[in-house]
Structure 1
Amino acid sequence: MRSQRIARLPPRERVLDAAHELFFNEGITRVTVDAIAAKAETTKMTVYRHFESKDVLVLEWLRLMMAEYDEVWGRLAEQFSAQPARQILGFAEFLVQEPVLSSHRGCAYTNTLAELPVCDSPARELIEAHKRRQAARLVRLCEASGIAEPEQAAFELTLLLEGVQIVAQNKGFDEVGPNLLKLVRARLGLPAA
């Protein structure tokens, strides 16, 4: 079935699809361009025709994931336009849904950062900029919610939202998703579900 789906996609999208699956599940340093080409059912030459290097492909993969997260926030802003706290809770609900929370790999951004030995790599800079935008968004939403000390609240929420992926991955606690939502609701001053 996967072969039929891949065959219908244009080569560039097949490469990105394959890269996403491989980078997410195996990490960026372990995955070769040959492996990406094989997974995409194409040639290494085709990969390089669309992406001049593996580093460029990694950047495009990160940008696509960031765009997906922005789409989630956009839908939440539309759905809960006058409820900024509910937007934050909605993002927490997104994080704890299957298969997002049950991934054996945790956060793709954190994993990618761990694999980047160079502190000034373009991929690291892209991830750090994304994380700063996310933090600023949380501060704005906390301010709009009337939460006292919005920067502190955004920091605490970030620890919860980032940490849940690690706690779920290491299987140290049960009911990670429901407990996260309970903590986020409490921090936002929202009633219990």
Structure 2
Amino acid sequence: MDFLELAKARYSCKKFSDKTVETAKLEQVLEAGRLAPTAKNNQPQHIYVLETKDSLEIADKITPCRYNAPTVLAIAYDTGNVFEYPGGKYNSGAEDAAIVATHIVLAAKAVGLDTCWVNYFDPDKAHELLKLPDNEAVTIFIDIGYADADAKPLPPHDSRKPLSETVTYR
């Protein structure tokens, strides 16, 4: 499948089967995240793989959006290892985590897995329940697994604005 077909095929799965994610596939997906570009190649990301009964129960306390996924990735970044933008108002931490997460969701689809990007959670609660180090901030959760047989994209999935509304040439 070429890249555009892959990008079109990937959707936010809201219903996962009970099938376990194979270690080899998960490692491929995590490797894709490791290879993602980050500002100044600082690689501030830290990915927590939640797949035990206890860790999935913690995920369920953090967000209602697990959708029965057998594996959840909590993507955090080291707040002390980020690129500071000129002017001091912004840093690259959240965007670096988002780039890593994007590589992960696309790599997952490429190996036959489905995902859901989850940002519906309280970051402070996630930090506390996951017992993260003080210097880490969790920004994204990714549910990962195999879609249930009757899972399908939500209706707005295929609705996209035309390029003319989202791109300006200057």
Report the TM-score range of the alignment, normalised by the length of the smaller protein: under 0.3
TM-score in terms of structure 2 length: 0.26
Choose 1 or 2 for highest CA Rg: 1
TM-score in terms of structure 1 length: 0.23
Q: Which has the higher contact order (CA 8 A, sep 6+)?
A: 2
